Structure 1
Amino acid sequence: MNTCSWPDNNKMMQEYHNKEWCVPTNNDQYIFEMLTLEGAQSGLSWSIVLSKRDGYKEAFHQFDLEYCSSLTDDDLIFIKENYQVIKHLLKLQSVRNNAMAILEIQREFGSFSNFLWEYVDYEPIINQWEKDEQIPAQTELSKQISKDLKKRGFKFVGPVIIYSFMQSIGMVDDHIQSCPYHTNNRANNFRS
């Protein structure tokens, strides 16, 4: 079977592709992590972001929503200067901002997962691409989710970021058909 070509020979990218990418999840903490990392990627490569993932986990206490929502400007500057994260203050401020917005959604919908998965009727969109080049950068749905999140005060949630985010939490399966990790070829299709 042919696998997706985008991870190339990068071990870290291969591991992410094989174990996480396009695997459905309803874990709000993991979903927040992916939203943060996808937002951090804006203008950068995914391999750069993945290489700093441990730094993000350490700086943001494993993406604890309560902790992140209570960070001060000084805390974020300290994180920028002392942790292995993308050194972009607006992106770091978006972590606090988005944590606050997620907590509000959790109060309203029970979980951030419920809010997001409602867009796809709680079933992942399973695409049947033959090659990586067919995968879109954004869709009408990612535009709609982006618009709705922006209305709720989220930052770094443009339609391209949101489409990548949808892939990262398994709302969309964009593995090529021949990839052993495509939903149709994988035994365990849900990440807890």
Structure 2
Amino acid sequence: MHRCIWANSSKSEEKYHDEEWGVPVYDSQKLFRKLILDMNQAGLSWSTILNKSDNFDAAYDNFNIEKIAHYDEAKITELMQDAGIIRNRRKIEAAINNAQKVLEMEASGLSFSDYIWEFTQGKVIDGKRKNVNEVPVSNELSDEITKDLKKKGFKFVGSTTIYAFLQAVGIINDHEIACFRYREVKELERNF
């Protein structure tokens, strides 16, 4: 059974690849979680974040957007002392800021999910990658979304981070064509 080459270095990466990566996500809270995890990956390896994901879930109240939006200085201090997550004050403050921006968006009648999927009119982009060397670190779509997120006041959302996010949440299917998940994910697209 062939899988994307990046997923062969550990059991946790294999499991993430086989069960989660690239599957279309339409739930706003789950999308927000992925955004914050990818934001925390900036400058680090994905395996670092993957291995800490349970700790992130616990530390960030299971990524409850409402709760995160109201984190205060005491909560920031608590997070800064939590060795189970990435203790970067700018990233923690960006998560709080971004939760507030999502709530503002939703108060105006637009869910975070609808906002993100609107960029592709609800369609998954098929990367049709023959191998990992064909996968870019960013593209026009990630540039466009990054620009719009920044205009809306989001922080720590560079184009490379957004591209990784789009792959993770299935907006871009970047599984290698020979990977067994490529076709499975395509089947999931049709069922949503």
Query: What TM bracket, shorter-length normalisation?
Result: over 0.9
| Alpha-carbon separation, structure 2, partners of 1:184 and 1:68 | 34
1:39-188 to 2 correspondences below 5 Å: 39-82=39-82, 84-183=84-183, 187-188=187-188
Residue aligned with 2:86, SS: coil
Summarize the Cα distance change of 1:62–1:184 in structure 2 as closer, same or farther, 3 Å threshold.
closer
| SS across alignment from 1:6 | helix
Structure 1 residues 42, 155: closer, same or farther in 2, change over 3 A? same
Verify the 8 A CA contact 2:18 2:181 in the aligned structure 1.
yes
Aligned CA RMSD, in angstroms, stands at 1.8
Instruction: Identify, as 1 or 2, the structure richer in helix.
Output: 2
For structure 2, which runs of at least 5 residues remain unmatched after alignment? none
Q: Return the letter of the residue paired with 2:7.
A: P
Name the CA shift for 1:189/1:83 in 2 (closer, same or farther; >3 Å).
farther
What TM-score do you get using the length of structure 1 for normalisation?
Answer: 0.94
Once the two structures are overlaid, the 10-residue window that deviates more, 58-67 or 2-11, is 2-11
Q: Which ranges in structure 1 are unaligned for 5 or more consecutive residues?
A: none
Q: Is the 8 A contact 2:124 2:189 kept in 1?
A: no
Q: Return the alpha-carbon distance in structure 2 between the equivalents of residues 150 and 11 of structure 1.
A: 36
Task: Tell me the residue number matched to 2:29.
Answer: 29
Q: After the TM superposition, which segments of 4 or more aligned residues of structure 1 sit over 2 Å from their partners?
A: 107-110, 183-192
Kept in 2, the 8 Å contact 1:180–1:186? The answer is no
Q: Alpha-carbon deviation of 1:191?
A: 9.6
Normalising by the residue count of structure 2, what TM-score does the alignment of the two structures yield?
0.94
